[in-house]
A and B are shown apart, each in its own frame.
Chain A
């Protein structure tokens, strides 16, 4: 069974920078896994932020960026805003089969 691992929780100060990562039990996460990132706030549906490693949707704020960092996929928030407090999920594709990470609860404090 493939397991995708994210930090369970992170805390960042307003205006700061934070990087969330996404690791695979199969080894290195590459662009061929097409990592996606989603934001979910309480009581809301997930909102797509990043697709295919680093591509932003038209609605994705500029402060969000996706990349590969070492053997993981990464989501970096620069100039964090209070409204960025949320759960963040990565999604990677193994031969086309999607697997979500367990999610990171980001606290802005």
Chain B
């Protein structure tokens, strides 16, 4: 059974940092892209970042470039999202989602981790 479990959410002050982790199981992790997607309270989905199978390619939405860093550890079957210089508008639920094999997409999703940025 494919599972993605996010952890590391919580409260941070503006300008602070948080690190989210996504623990994957039930599939060959190194064969798939990993995406991070967020959802502000009461709002729609926003793609944040993704990383390719071996970690050699990373892409970010413009609003987080230079502040967020995505990484992965294929031996540990996990992906992290390091979030620095946090802003109030970064608040929301962060989901990790497995990329669809061979074509762009996102098939399996975790349950999400809540990030609140507030003073």
Contact = CB atoms under 8 A, between A and B. Distances in A.
Interface of A: 34, 36, 38, 40, 45-48, 51-52, 55, 57, 87, 89, 91, 93, 96-103
6 contacts: A45-B111, A46-B95, A51-B105, A89-B45, A98-B47, A99-B47
**Secondary structure call for the A interface:** strand
A89 B44 contact: yes
Contacts, number: 65
Interface residues of B, number: 21
Contact of A45 (B47, B59, B109): B109
Nearest to B107: A48
B47 A34 contact: no
Interface of B: 35, 37, 44-47, 50, 59, 95, 97, 100, 103-112
Given A100-B44, A103-B44, A51 B100 contact: yes
Given A48-B109, A87-B44, 14 more contacts: A36-B105, A46-B95, A46-B109, A48-B107, A51-B100, A52-B103, A55-B103, A57-B107, A89-B44, A98-B47, A98-B104, A100-B37, A103-B44, A103-B45
